[in-house]
Structure 1
Amino acid sequence: MAASKLSVRLSCALLAAASSMPLSARAQSKDPAAAEALFQQGKEALDRGDYDTACPKLEASLKAEAAPGTLFFLADCEEKQGRIATAWAHFKELEQKLPADDSRRPTVVQRAAALQSRIPKLTVKVASGTPANAVVTRDGIEMGAASLGSPTPIDPGEHTIAIEAPGHARNESKVVIDRPSTEITVSVGERTATGATPAGKGGAQVPVGITIGSIGVAAMVSGVIVGVVGKSNYDDSDPFCDEDDFCGPEGITIREDARTMGTAATVVFAIGAAATATGIIVWLTAPKDEGGLASTNWRVGVGPSGIVARTSW
C-alpha cells in the first residue's frame, strides 16, 4: 500500500514538474496565446480522463508553439489512450531535445524505456514479382523501401495497408494489431485495361496532332484554290491590255485584284504547310496506341461555302 502511494506521489510530482516547464524553454513561438489556451483545455481534459478530447487539444497546442511540457503531456495522453507506439516516439523526441544535464531527462528516458518493451511490431512485405515502382502506404502514409520487410513499431488497433502501381488496380488490406508481432504480405491488384486512363498511350496528343494537320491541309488546299482563281482573273485582263502589258483602267483593276488574290493564296498556303508539319510532328512524337490513326477519321474537301475539314474520334 505504501509503495502504491509512493508511485502515485511520484507520478504527480513528475506531471507537475512537466507542467511547470518555463515558456523560455519553448522553441520559437508561432501563436503563444492560442498554444496556452489549447494547452489548458487539453490538460483539464487529461485530468478528468477524457483522452479523446485531451490528445487533439495538446497536439494543436504543440503545433501552435513547441514546448517540452506540452510534448510530455501529449505523450502521456497517447499512452493512456492506448497509442503506445506514438507515445514512445514522442517521449524519444523529447529525450533528444532535452539537454543531457536537464533534471527532467531521466524521467523521460524511463517513460520511453518502459513503453518500448510493450510496443507491437508490424512487418509489411511485398509479394515476389511486384513492380519496382509500386508504392505501399500504411494509413495513407507512404512506407519507404527501408521500412518494407522490417518490423516497425505500430499502435494497437486496426490499420490500412495499401499498394498501388501504374497499370494495376489499387489493392487495400485491413490488419488488426492485437499481438506483439504481426506480418502481412501485400501484392498489387489486377492489371487495368490498356489505355483506360486519359494519360495512357498517347492520351490527347494523337487527336490534337491530327486536328492541327487537318486544318493545315485544308489551308493548303484553300491556298491552291485561291491561287487558281487569281490566275484565272489575271488572264481575264488580257482583252484590256496590249502585247506590251499596257492596260486600260479596267485591265489594271482586274490585274491588281488578281495579284492580291495571289499574295493571299501564297500566305494561306504557307500557313497551311506549317500547320501540317506541326500536326505531323505532334502525332509522330505521341506514344503509340493500338489502332493509332485507325481510330481517327478526318476528311478535307471543297463544299458549297468553301474548304471543309472534318475530324471524328
Structure 2
Amino acid sequence: MTSWFRRSTRLLAVLGLLSLSVPAAAQDIAAAEALFDRGLADMQAGRYETGCKALAESRRLDPQPGTLFTLASCEAEWGRIATAVTRFGEYLALVERMTPPEVARQRERPKLARQKREQLAPRVPRLALSLPPGAPAGSVVKRDGLVLGEAALGVALPVDPGEHLVSIQVPGEPARAQHITIAPGETKELTLKLKETPSSRAPAPPPASAQRATTGIGPAPAPAGPDAPAVPAGRRTAVYVTGGIGAAGLVLGGITGALVFGKKGAIEEHCGSGIQVADRKACDPTGHDAATSASAMARVSTIAFGVGLAGLGAAAVLYWTEPRHTGPATGARPRWVSAGVLEAGPAGAVLGAQGSF
C-alpha cells in the first residue's frame, strides 16, 4: 500500500510539471510570432539592425526554419555578409534533414538560399590575427570581444565588412586594443603589437661621473668645495646691464663723432680756411649752422664716449671682483680692477686702469 502511494505521488508530480510547461511553451511561441512580425516589418522598412535583432530573438524562442531563412536574408541586406552566409548554410543543413513533405512546405526557400550563399561567399572578407614575436605564454587575443584560440591565430577567418575591435593582453598587463576596418572581399593580415615596457627601451647613458669612475673617460668634474661661494644672480645681471650701457655709449659716441667730421667740409667752405668751430663771426649763415651743429654733436660725442667707457669700466669691475674659489687651503681671493676716464674731448680720450688678477 505504501509503495503504491509513493509511485502515485511521483506520477502526479511528473504530470504537474508537464502541465506547467505547456503554457510556458505557448507563451514563447506567441512571443516568437510577435517578434517575427516586428522584425519582418523593420526589415522591409530598411531598419535592418532592429529587424535582424528581433528575428534573432524570435528564432531563439521558437527555432523555425522559416525564421532562420528570413534572418539570413535580413543579415545579407544589413551588409553582414559573413553572418548571412553562415545563416543560409544553417538553413540548408536543416532542409537536408527534413522529410519530403517538410521540404515541400519550404517552397522556393532552399533554392533561394543556395543562390544567395553562392553570390555572397566570394565577397566575404577574411582577417588573420597573429601574436608578435616574443609574446609571453598566456597572451590572449580577442576580436570583437571573442577570444581566439591558439589554432585560430594566423588563420584568415571570415568576418563581416566594416570596423572591428581587436586586442591583445599579456599576463599582468592591461589589454592593448585597436580598431581596424576591412572591406568586402578583402583579406587582411595583422600582427598585434605588445605594449612597450621599460626593459625594452634603450638604456639611458650613465652619468658623466659614473662613466669616468668606471672607464676613466669623460669630462672631469669642476673643482668645487663646500665653502665655494655662489655668484649672486643680481651681480651678474648688473654686469650685463652696465656692459650694455657702455657698449651703447661707445656706439653713439662713434656715430656723432663721424657726423662732426662730416660737417668739417661745410665749415671750411663757408667760414674760411683756418677758422675754428667756436669762431662763428666770420661764417655765412650756412657755415654758422654747420659750426653750431658740429659743436653740439661734438659735446654729445664726448659725453657718449665718457658714458660708454664708464659703463664698460663698471662692468669690468663687477666681473673681475666676483669671488673665485681657489681651493680649501687658500680660500677665496677676489680679482679686482679699477678703470677711469682721465681726459675726453673731440680729439679723443685717455683712460687709466689698474687691478689685481
TM-score normalised per structure 2: 0.44
Q: Which has the larger radius of gyration?
A: 2
- TM-score normalised by L of structure 1: 0.49
